[in-house]
C-alpha cells in the first residue's frame, strides 16, 4: 500500500478513575509536558469529569473525548449519554466499542456501528476499537475476528474516524504484543480497511495500538510503519507517564 504521512494520535483513557480535584490537578500539569508533542493528544475521562476536564484543558491543544455514547440523540435511556450531550460538554472525540464495553455490556459490532454513525452526525470523531481475546489468538482466529469486527463496526461507513487495535489479552495484564506482532496486525487491518473504503482512504487512516503501552515499550512500537499512536489506559492516569510515552515517540 502507498506510504503516506499520518499525524500521530495519543489517547488517554482514564476509564472509571479520578474525581474532580484529581482531574483539575492533572489538567494543570499535562499541557506543559506535551507542549511540543509531534501529534494530537486526546483525554477520555468519565462522564462526570467531562466539564472539569474540558475547562481545565481550555486554551491548550489537548482535546477531550467521551468514553461511550448512545446511538439515539435523546430519549428514555437512563444512565446513557448522547452525542450532542458530549459535544455540549466540550468533546470532539468519542470511543466506540472499547473492549470493556464489548465485554461488560455485550456490545455488538452493529451497536458500535450505530454509535459511530451517531457520533459523526453530531460532529464527533469516533475512535473505533477492535481486538481479539487470548483464546481467539491462540486458536489462530485473531485475524478472522478482527476482520469481522472491522467490517461490522464500519457498516454505516462513518467519516471521519480513527481505529484502535486492542489485543484484549494485553489490556491491564502487563502483556504487550511484540512490535513485530503489532505491526503485522496493523498492516492486516490497513489492508482490510482498503477492501472496505478503498486504498487511498485506508492509507490515510490512523490506527492506534492499545495494550499495556508504557514509556519503555512505546518507542519500539511506534517505530513500526502502520502504528500511528496509542490508546493508553493505566499509564495515562499519571501525566508524567503519559507524557513520557508521547515524548518517546518524538517531539
**Predicted confidence (pLDDT) per residue in 64-112, tens digit:** 999 999 999 999 999 999 999 999 999 999 999 999 999 999 999 999 9
- Whether 24 sits among the annotated catalytic residues: the reply is no
More confident position, 134 or 220: 220
Domain assignment of residue 229, yes or no = yes
| Mean pLDDT across the chain | 95
Look at the block and give the residue holding cell 499495556.
212
Residue 108 grid coordinates? 455488538
Q: Which helix (H) or strand (E) holds 165?
A: strand 162-165
Domain assignment of residue 59, yes or no = yes
Decide if 242 contacts 232 (C-beta within 8 A).
yes
Decide if 118 contacts 73 (C-beta within 8 A).
yes
CATH number at residue 235: 3.20.20.70
How would DSSP label each residue in 97-149? S-HHHHHHH---HHHHHHHHHHHHHTTPEEEEEE---HHHHHTT-HHHHHHHH
Domain assignment of residue 239, yes or no = yes
Q: State the pLDDT confidence band at 235, using cuts at 50, 70 and 90.
A: very high
Residue 237 grid coordinates? 492516569
Residue 170: its pLDDT value, please?
80
Q: Which residues of 149-181 are buried (b: 16+ CB within 10 A; e: fewer)?
A: bbebbbbbebeebbbbbbbbbbbeeeebbebee
pTM comes to: 0.96
* Mean pLDDT of the 8-29 span: 98
Host domain of residue 30: 9-248
Catalytic residue among 100, 107, 136, 166: 166
What would the pLDDT profile of 113-122 be if each residue is shown by its tens digit? 999 999 999 9
User: How far is the C-alpha of 115 from the C-alpha of 94, rounded, in Å?
Assistant: 9
Residue 10: its pLDDT value, please?
98
Look at the block and give the residue holding cell 478482527.
146
- Whether 98 sits among the annotated catalytic residues: the reply is yes
Tally of domains within the chain? 1
Q: State the pLDDT confidence band at 212, using cuts at 50, 70 and 90.
A: confident
Domain assignment of residue 107, yes or no = yes
Domain assignment of residue 4, yes or no = no
Closest CA to 87 of 68, 66, 116: 66
Catalytic residue among 98, 107, 132, 136: 98
Residue 38: its pLDDT value, please?
86
Domain assignment of residue 3, yes or no = no
User: How far is the C-alpha of 147 from the C-alpha of 229, rounded, in Å?
Assistant: 21
Query: Residue 251: pLDDT above 70?
Result: no
* Mean pLDDT of the 17-43 span: 96
Domain assignment of residue 139, yes or no = yes
Amino acid at each position: 500500500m502507498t506510504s503516506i504521512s499520518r499525524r500521530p494520535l495519543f489517547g488517554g483513557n482514564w476509564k472509571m478513575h479520578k474525581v474532580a480535584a484529581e482531574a483539575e490537578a492533572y489538567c494543570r500539569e499535562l499541557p506543559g509536558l506535551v507542549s511540543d508533542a509531534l501529534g494530537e493528544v486526546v483525554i477520555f475521562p468519565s462522564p462526570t469529569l467531562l466539564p472539569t476536564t474540558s475547562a481545565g484543558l481550555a486554551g491548550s491543544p489537548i482535546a477531550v473525548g467521551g468514553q461511550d455514547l448512545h446511538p439515539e440523540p435523546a430519549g428514555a435511556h437512563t444512565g446513557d449519554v448522547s452525542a450532542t450531550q458530549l459535544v455540549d460538554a466540550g468533546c470532539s472525540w468519542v470511543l466506540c466499542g472499547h473492549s470493556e464495553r464489548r465485554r461488560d455490556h455485550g456490545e455488538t459490532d452493529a451497536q458500535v456501528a450505530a454509535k459511530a454513525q451517531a457520533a459523526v452526525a453530531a460532529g464527533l470523531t469516533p475512535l473505533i476499537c477492535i481486538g481479539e481475546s487470548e483464546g481467539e489468538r491462540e486458536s489462530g482466529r485473531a485475524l478472522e475476528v478482527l476482520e469481522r469486527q472491522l467490517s461490522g463496526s464500519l457498516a454505516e461507513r462513518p467519516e471521519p474516524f480513527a481505529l484502535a487495535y486492542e489485543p484484549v489479552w494485553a489490556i491491564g495484564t502487563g502483556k504487550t504484543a511484540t512490535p513485530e506482532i503489532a505491526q503485522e496486525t496493523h498492516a492486516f487491518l490497513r489492508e482490510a480497511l482498503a477492501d472496505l473504503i478503498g486504498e487511498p482512504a485506508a492509507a490515510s487512516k490512523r490506527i492506534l495500538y492499545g495494550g499495556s503501552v508504557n514509556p519503555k515499550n512505546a518507542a519500539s512500537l511506534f517505530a513500526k510503519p502502520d502504528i500511528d499512536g496509542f490508546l493508553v489506559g493505566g499509564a495515562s492516569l499519571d501525566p508524567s507517564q503519559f507524557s513520557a510515552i508521547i515524548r518517546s515517540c518524538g517531539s
